[in-house]
Amino acid sequence: MPNRDRYHDVVRRALEKDGWTITDDPLRMRWGKKDMYVDLAAEKLLVAAKGEQQIAVEIKTFGGPSSVADAQKSLGQYFIYLSVIKRVEPNRKLYLAIHEEIYDEFFTEPLGEILLSDYQVPLLVFDPDQEVIVQWID
C-alpha cells in the first residue's frame, strides 16, 4: 500500500463536501504484473443526466525544491495512471489534485499553462484550510 499524501484527508473531505461519495481509498488498478494505487475514487449521482459521474483523483503536494521536478514526477505518474485507467475503467475520469497555491504559482505561469494546454490535464484545485474544492479545470 502506498504512503498517503499530506493532503489526502483534506481532499477526501473536500470531495465529500462537494457531494461526492468516496468509493475507493485508494483505487487499486492492476496492469500485467504491476499494481498501482490512485489516491481516491469517487462517484456522484447526476440527476439531470440520469446517471452517475465517476472520477479518480491523484493528489500531489509539489513539496520539493523544484516545481519543475515536482511537475515531471507528478505528470509522469498521472500519465501512467491515465493509460491504465482508460483500459480498466474507461468511464472514470482521472484528475490531478493540487493545492491552490501550487496552481497559482506554477500552473498559471507560462510553463504550467502550456503543459495544461498541450496535455489537457484535468485539475482539481483545493483550499486545504477550508477543505473545499475551489476549481475544477477540465
pLDDT, residue 4, reads 84
Q: Is the pLDDT of residue 48 over 80?
A: no
**CA-based radius of gyration for the chain:** 15
DSSP string across 20-60:
PEEEESSEEEEETTEEEEESEEEEEEETTTTEEEEEEEEEE
Residues 99-123: tens digit of each pLDDT = 999 999 999 999 999 999 999 999 9
Cα 47 from chain centroid?
24
pLDDT, residue 1, reads 61
pLDDT, residue 49, reads 56
Segment 32-52 shows an average pLDDT of 86
**Total-model pTM:** 0.93
**CATH class for the domain made up of 8-137:** alpha beta
Which residues does residue 137 pair with via DSSP β-bridges, in sequence order? 123
Segment 10-24 shows an average pLDDT of 96
88 within 8 A of 31, measured Cβ to Cβ: yes
Could you tell me where the DSSP H helices lie in 1-138?
8-17, 67-88, 100-102, 110-119
Range with lowest mean pLDDT among 2-6, 15-19, 92-96, 113-117? 2-6
pLDDT, residue 21, reads 95
Residue % of the chain over a pLDDT of 70: 95
Residues 53-88: tens digit of each pLDDT = 999 999 999 989 999 999 999 999 999 999 999 999
